[in-house]
Structures are given as structure tokens and as C-alpha cells.
A and B are shown apart, each in its own frame.
Chain A
């Protein structure tokens, strides 16, 4: 009766087993889809996955190549953030399932009182650690894909039966195969193969299995080819038999079985290490990089410790039940419950720390600028107060695109003209937004340069699909049709950019169509005619040339007006305003504030009607308030968002 009740309870428990997995999957999906969709497109833009046999063979020529190819294939679908979130969620689910299956396989070797479901909660630990690791934007999807491949190999290993297979054939074949398709996660398999049979044997030796089974092992061991070894083993077997006849036998590494299994363990671990060392001799990669994985992390010289921890967890968590085999079922259940609570708490407390706010803020700005969601850029800036050159650049660009730069620039953090066009730094990320600003301004060559630089700066030597698209555009605008065609031909081999490439291809060589194109035609009209060399210290002059070349270039006009104001150079500002006024009637609030302060500095009255009465009144108020207190006086705070406040602070 009791057995029946227990069976029923087990059945009902098993029916609910899928619920935590579902929560994990749905939670992961919602996390990426709702909170970090921009992080998905961030990954997608820094690779160029091609449906091409050369691309595939190129990847397959390196250890871990298949995992990298599969990961890149999946990452291209991040272009659709919903699909991207589903992919990550499913990957996490599969990893959790395989860890659970390994626990189940291990528990099968334990006494019948143990239930594998008791340890199920631990199967979530590796995937939660992985979730934390994936918060690092430089962790590549190749790592979880490789991890999954290693788990599958480990799981397959638990089904090997014959001793020769378990000891030699499987380890050699699987290690070589796994190393080549998934990279250094082969070390996980090595460790697992070295420990898993040891654990099984341990239990046997402890006498928890029948004596006859122990003897069958003994008989197996006798089948040794060498006569000398036969004699030696017989002596050792006798010793071993003596020990196994006692139920309180303690495992000792000096016994026949331990030495045999230790040898096997060493063989398995050595196999993994030797494979990597050997490949370093014949492949053009450093040994350290091969140990770190060619594409597990975007920076080839780095590997987060957590990545190693995740690998270790995937190996040791399934073996946990062996360590806890002496515990009663009740104690195990309590332990599991406590573990579950602890895991949930850890996940809740630690998760936010894994996702660096500043980094993801920049990634969000980049995403919004790339997709030209100018309103959302401003909305986000209003809430989160950008203060880094990249985010300030994005905010200023969005303000200019919506014709608000002259009205609202000082409502946001500003620190010099570098907030308009940050100086170049050798990074694959920060010049991207600057290149967008150059492109929209009409400095096509500079946009092209920064785009190319970003692509070349990608640390893992990937190419960028986003950069490739922009380079096709800049070359098309510049009339470099053969180069544009080359990039378009490459993009035609992608999934999500193929249609665009085919459409854009029709413009090649068609001067009229390009000139009439709403975007490319406009950029052509902004082309500078006079050749000079780009200078980061003379960007204001370049804005001036752009404006004079095409007075309809509103962005150049706004940047030209704001540039000297950001550098607090009122004299230059007045010169530039004169240039602007000759071509356009542009006098936004900040320009009026600048003119007012310029006249005030010269103790003159501005011409009648040039400035609004409100501005004049505000300027007088500011002047009086400043004269009554110091520049740090809190009474000046009501002038926040004005040029005057920016000038004195």
C-alpha cells in the first residue's frame, strides 16, 4: 500500500516537473524581449553570417568552428528581437534539461531510495550562472552552444556500456570530435569522463551493489593480455576481494580499482589537454586562446572566471547526488528546498549586477540611433541624463534630427563640442554613433572611415553586417560602384539584408536614380567639393563648409551654431551666426541667448527685433542674479537649461 502511495506521489511530482523549466524559459524570453532587446541587435550587428560554403568551411577550419557557425547562424535571427529572445530561452532550457538528464543518469547508479527529482533544482544552477555571464555583452552565443554540445556528449557517455568503449574508444573519438566542433569545452567532457565511472565504481566498492557484481568486474579485469600483468592483477584482485567482503570497506587510491580508474581519469584529462596543446602547434592560434575558446568571448585575450565556473558547474552539479548519497530522502528534500530558495534569491539579487547599466544604456542609444528612433532617444535621455560622449552625441543628434538642438541642447548634460562629434577612439562601439552623426551631416567619407574602423576594431576579427550595409551606401553615394557592388554581393548572402541588397543593387551606376533618392541624393548634394584633410580640431570649419555647400543642410547649420557655444566661444559663435544669417533665418532660443550675452559682454544693445523680449528679460535677470551671488549660487538654478547657466558653470 505504502509503495503504491509513494508511486502515486512520484507520478504527481513528475507531472509538475516541467513547471520550473517553463518558468525559466518564459522568464528568459521576457527578460531579453522586454528589457534588453537592444542587446540582441548589438550582437547581431557585429557579425556577418553568410549562407556560403566558404564561410562554413572557414569556420570549420578552427576548433569550436561548428559551435561558432551554429551560434552565428542563430545570432543573425536576433535581427528580429522576438525570435532572438526565443532562441536564448530555448538554449537555456536545453542546457537545463541536459544537466537534469545527467543528474538522472547519475542518480540511476545510486541506491533506490534516492529520487533524481530531489536534485532537479540543482539543474538550474549552471543555467542561472550562465544567465549572469550572458549579462557581459562580450560573452558570445558560441559559449552556450558549445556548452550544450558538451552536455550532450557527456550524456551520451553515460550510455556507454562496454569497458573498452567507456575507457578508450568513446573518450578518444568523442574528445577529438567535440574539441573540433565545440572547442575547449572538451575539458568538461574530459573531467566528466574521468569522474563519472569513478563514482559508479566507488559505490560498487562500498558494497552497496551485490557481491556478484563486484566479481563480474573482477572477471573483467582478469582479461588482461599480458601474462605478467595477469599475475600482478591476480595478486591485487585477491587483495581487493578481501576488502570487498567487508561492508565497511573504505575506498583507497592504492587498491586495484582505484589505480585503474585513476589511470583512466588521468588519461581522459590528459586527452583533452593534449588535444588543445597539439592543435596549438599546427594552428595559427596561441595556446592560451585555444584554451579560452576562439569565440567564447569577444576579446580573445580574456576569459571571465565565471565562464570557467559555468563549465565546472555543468560537470559537477550532475555528480552532486553521489556526494549526498548517504543523506536520507527527507534531508535531501530539505536541502533541495533550501537550495531552490537560495538560487531564487541569488538570481534576484545578483542579476541586476550582471547587466552593467552604463554599458547597456550606450547599447540602447546605439540601437535607437541605428533605427533612427529620434523621439525615443530624447525620451530616454530625459529620463536617464546621458553624460558619456557617446550618449551625449546620440542625444544631440536626435535633437538636431528633430530640429530641437537650438532650443533644448542645454537641457541635457553638455561638456564641450566633443558632445557633438566625439573624438575617434579605437573601439568597435563608440565610433558607431559618431559615424551615424557624420553620415546624417553629409560627411560621407568620415562616416565611411569610422564605419570601417569600427568593423576592423571588432576584437574577434568578425566583420559587421551593419557596417557592411553602411559601407555599401557610402560607396554608392561616392560613386564607387564596384566597391558598393562587392558589398552588396556579400549582403545578398545574408538572411535579413539580402532583399535590401537586391533592391539597392538596382541603383548601381544609375546616377539619376541616386541623385533623386531621398537619402542618397541628399547626401550627394552635401558633398564637399574642395579637397582637404579631415581634422578633428577643426570640425566647426567643416560644419561651416557643409552648410555653405548646402544651406538646406539643417543638421550642419544646427551643429555650426552650437559648436562654439559648447566651447564657450561667444566671439566665434557671432561669426558663425553671421554666416548662418546670410543663408537662413535661423534664430532658435539658444542662439538668441548667445547673441544676448555677446551684446551684453560688449555693453551694447542688440538691434531692435533681433531678440525676443522674453530672452532679453531673462538675460537681464540672469545678469542681475549672477552679480548678486557667485556662479555657484543656488539662485542661478532657475536658469538651468539656458546657455548662460552652461557658460558660468
Chain B
């Protein structure tokens, strides 16, 4: 009797099995989302789960094989891998390639696509995860906004602070010092506006606006010593296009840059970086801390001449010992001569490169589909379009990993509106690998359902330690630390 039951159970199991059978071999690679075909990934990254595109796909069967270790196999509605097994396979195949075999059951028939590869980089990432803001890609009104951190080894996301904790608040520009969250800053806009600065666990809520400056501090960037933090102060406006292909235009009626000294709450400025007819913006320190890069533009009559708002990249020397600026400004990249505008300069922490975005005009690159990332070799001064990572849609808001081997950037390549995060590595010749979309447990479902964009991403070397409950109470309180212009 037992034998009969066993036999029947086995037959039932076999008949109900979802293993590919009568497989038809295809000549092309599968059309998968996210497009992980041929990408390069770091060891320790979360599994690259994916789904095969097509309404008729009922099931997928995927095997990932490396030259070392046990192959990974998954069978289901989408390809989802076990996190530990995935990490093990990546570790065993560091510096080599993984072969991915995909079969898909479409209309009851199994098809096996041409194998594709995923390269496991020998370059380490050395970062715990990412930080970013999530916000709906809206116009003037914002609703749910938060700053979040994501563990890159798995799919866990943690809240740094959410505007459900400070109703009506808008958070932006969360910035750590070279990915180290021990020194971090972000802005709060709205009724309880402030600049929140946390250094080695000690938090200060700075007054949002300095009356001498005539504005609030925007676009921060830390000095490598942690002694200073550069900001711009902007009078920003936005308008809206009426033609189908465009949405929003952001321009500054005025902007200057400054350097803040947290210990003394002093704001350091100079006439060379706050010229009355020019807009200086997005300051960043060089890795040695002796140069301050920034972009600058001759002010135009806005909004009428919004298409004439074009920025060049400039630099000025900075003495960290005295907090003094140099006596002249040099142009580093003349974008205007190319009929373009430059924005979001980000030097690599190893001092080799400078990454920036070029667009037709303006500086708010996410609303410019033509935005493209460029790389300047600081040793030669030569720059090139990063065509290997750019797309037809807006690509911008890049940041480097602390070891300067990886970058994270935002792109609207998937649907033209909702920005998502892509990672890519740079080799010794300055070439970037094919970028890959930030992995999710079920990426198709996650990215198609989310109504939020990811922006201003950065790496974080460790998990951000931030008591959001207490911080929210401090933000809601009227107490603010005053800053003073030196």
C-alpha cells in the first residue's frame, strides 16, 4: 500500500513539475527586466533578480554558472535567487564571468534563450550601501518625501528620516563626507526649515536662512578634513513648459557659493565666488581639499531667456589652514563654448577624474532629457562623453564610492520620468562598465508600482546612525543654531 502511495505521489509530482521540457532553443538572448545582460557587478551586491519581459511568460527557469562553485538555479514566475548562495557564488567567481541560462515558458511552451554573462568585478565596492531621497517627480507641491538608506548586500531599506515625522517638510541633499556618515548634513524645507548637521553623533539644527546671505544653504559638499562644508545659496524659481516633450524648467535668479565652518558656525565667503551678475553654484572640494570647484553662469533675464542659462566649470584655491580663498578663478571646462551647460561636478576621491553632466541649458539636469555624463581626466584635462553609460533620457546626480572604483547615478532611461539608480565601475583606462539597475527582490513589480523617483544618491560606508525620532522633535522645535558670515 505504502509503495502505491509513494508511486502515485511521485507521478503526481513529476506531472506537476515546472521543469523545462521539450525546450525550443532560441538564437537570441532573452529580453529581461532589468537589463542585466553583460553588466559588471561587485562582490557582495544583492542578487540580480529579474523577470523575462512579455505578457505570455508564465514561468522562468534560470541557472547561473560560474567557473567556481555550485551553480545557482531558480524556477518561478520571476528569477529570484537565494541571497547567501548568490553571495557565495560571487565570492568564488571574483574577477571572472557568470554564465546565465534562461528558459521561459510562454503560452505553455518552453523556450531556452541564448546564454548571457554577468562579470563579477575584481574591484571591491567597500561600501555598506546607498543613501537617497525618494520623492514623486512632481512640480511645486510635494507629498511623501524621505531620506532612506539601502543595504546593498540585500534588499533591505531603512528610513533615515521621513516627512511623516515632520509634517509638511521637504528633505533634500543628504550628504556625507566621502561616504562616511559620521559627518552628514541635509536640509529641511517648509515651515520648520533648517539645515541638519550631524558630526560624530552630535547633531545641530542650523537656522535655514542666514539674513546676511539672504538665503538658505543648498547643495553641500564636505571638505575632506571634515572641518568645512561648502554650500551654495540660491534664489531658485521654476516654470513649466507647454510642449509635450518638456515639463519643468528650474533657474536661479541669483546664487553664490560659500564655505561653512561647523566648529565656529562661521560662513566664509569671497567676492570672487559671490559676484553680483554671476550665478555660482554646486561647489565641491578637490580630494586634497586645496581647490574648490564650482560652476558659474552669467545671469540672464529669467524666465524670458531661460535657454541662455549656461554654466562653465571653474575653480579657486582654498587654504584649509586659514579658510582663505585664492585671488583668482580659473575656468576648468568651457561648456558654453560648446553651446552646452555644465552641472553637478564630482571629483573622484583618488584625484584622477572629475565627473560632470552636460546639457543644452540650465543646471537642473533631471528635467533635461539630453543630460549626459562626462568624465574629465584631471591629469590631462581631457574630457569625454560617457557614451557607455549614458542613455537617451536624463542621466545625472552621480557620486563616487570612497575607493573611486564605482559610481552611482540617476537615470530616467526606463520610462522617461521616474529616476532610478544605476551603478557602474570604472577600469584603469577610465572606461565604465555597462551600468546595472539597483537590484530589488522583485524588480519588475517594485519599479512598475513605485510612484517615487530616487534622487541625490550617494554611497555610505556604514549604516547611517540617526535617531529620527529625536531629530524630528528637534526640527519641530523653534530652537536653531545661528550662523554668522565672517
* Chain A interfacial positions (CB closer than 8 Å to B): 52, 54, 280-281, 284-286, 289, 300-301, 424, 426, 443-446, 449, 452-453, 455-458, 461, 463, 477-480, 482-483, 485-486, 489-490, 527-535, 542
Q: Which residues of chain B come closer than 8 Å to A284, judged between CB atoms?
A: 146, 159, 161-162, 164-165, 468
**Given A284-B159, A456-B138, A489-B448: A483 and B415 within 8 A (CB)?**
yes
Residue of B nearest to A454 (CB): B141
Would you give 15 A-B contacts (Cβ < 8 Å), ordered by A? A54-B449, A286-B167, A300-B167, A301-B167, A445-B241, A449-B240, A455-B143, A461-B164, A480-B416, A482-B417, A528-B243, A531-B246, A534-B239, A534-B240, A535-B239
- Contacting pair B249 A533 (CB below 8 A): yes
Our pick among A289, A528, A534 for the contact of B164 (Cβ within 8 Å) is A289
- Contacting pair A285 B165 (CB below 8 A): yes
- Contacting pair A461 B303 (CB below 8 A): no
- Contacting pair A453 B414 (CB below 8 A): no
**Given A54-B445, A54-B449, A285-B164: A457 and B240 within 8 A (CB)?**
no
Q: Which residues of chain B come closer than 8 Å to A480, judged between CB atoms?
A: 244, 416-417
Q: Which residues of chain B come closer than 8 Å to A445, judged between CB atoms?
A: 240-244, 246-247
**Contact-residue bracket for chain B:** 35 or more
User: Considering residues A284, A286, A485, A527, which has the most beta carbons from chain B within 10 angstroms of its beta carbon?
Assistant: A284
- Contacting pair B303 A452 (CB below 8 A): no
- Contacting pair A528 B242 (CB below 8 A): yes
- Contacting pair A483 B416 (CB below 8 A): yes
Minimum-distance CB pairs A-B, first 6: A482-B415, A478-B244, A533-B239, A284-B162, A456-B141, A461-B144
Q: Mark B141-169, 1 if CB is under 8 A from A, else 0.
A: 11110100000000000010110111100
* Chain B interfacial positions (CB closer than 8 Å to A): 136, 138-144, 146, 159, 161-162, 164-167, 239-247, 249, 303, 306, 414-418, 445, 448-449, 451, 468-469, 472, 476
**Given A54-B445, A285-B165, A533-B306: A457 and B244 within 8 A (CB)?**
no
Q: Which residues of chain B come closer than 8 Å to A286, judged between CB atoms?
A: 164-167, 472, 476
Our pick among A280, A281, A285, A457 for the contact of B143 (Cβ within 8 Å) is A457
User: Considering residues B166, B242, B246, B418, which has the most beta carbons from chain A within 10 angstroms of its beta carbon?
Assistant: B242
- Contacting pair B244 A534 (CB below 8 A): no
Q: Which residues of chain A come closer than 8 Å to B306, judged between CB atoms?
A: 533
- Contacting pair A463 B469 (CB below 8 A): no
CB distance from A549 to the nearest CB of B (A): 11
- Contacting pair B247 A486 (CB below 8 A): no
Our pick among B165, B242, B303, B476 for the contact of A531 (Cβ within 8 Å) is B242
Residue of B nearest to A531 (CB): B243
**Given A284-B159, A286-B167, A461-B144: A542 and B242 within 8 A (CB)?**
yes
- Contacting pair A533 B139 (CB below 8 A): no
- Contacting pair A479 B167 (CB below 8 A): no
**Given A453-B139, A453-B141, A480-B416: A486 and B242 within 8 A (CB)?**
no
Could you tell me the distance between the alpha carbons of A535 and B240 in the complex, rounded to whole angstroms? Answer: 8
Q: Which residues of chain B come closer than 8 Å to A528, judged between CB atoms?
A: 242-243
Q: Which residues of chain A come closer than 8 Å to B142, judged between CB atoms?
A: 456
Q: A449-B247, A453-B141, A529-B243 are in contact. List 4 more A-B contacts (CB 8 A).
A: A478-B245, A483-B415, A531-B241, A532-B242
- Contacting pair B143 A533 (CB below 8 A): no
Residue of A nearest to B468 (CB): A284
Could you tell me the distance between the alpha carbons of A529 and B159 in the complex, rounded to whole angstroms? Answer: 44
Residue of B nearest to A299 (CB): B167
Residue of A nearest to B476 (CB): A286
CB distance from A116 to the nearest CB of B (A): 44
Q: Which residues of chain B come closer than 8 Å to A443, judged between CB atoms?
A: 242
Q: Which residues of chain A come closer than 8 Å to B161, judged between CB atoms?
A: 284
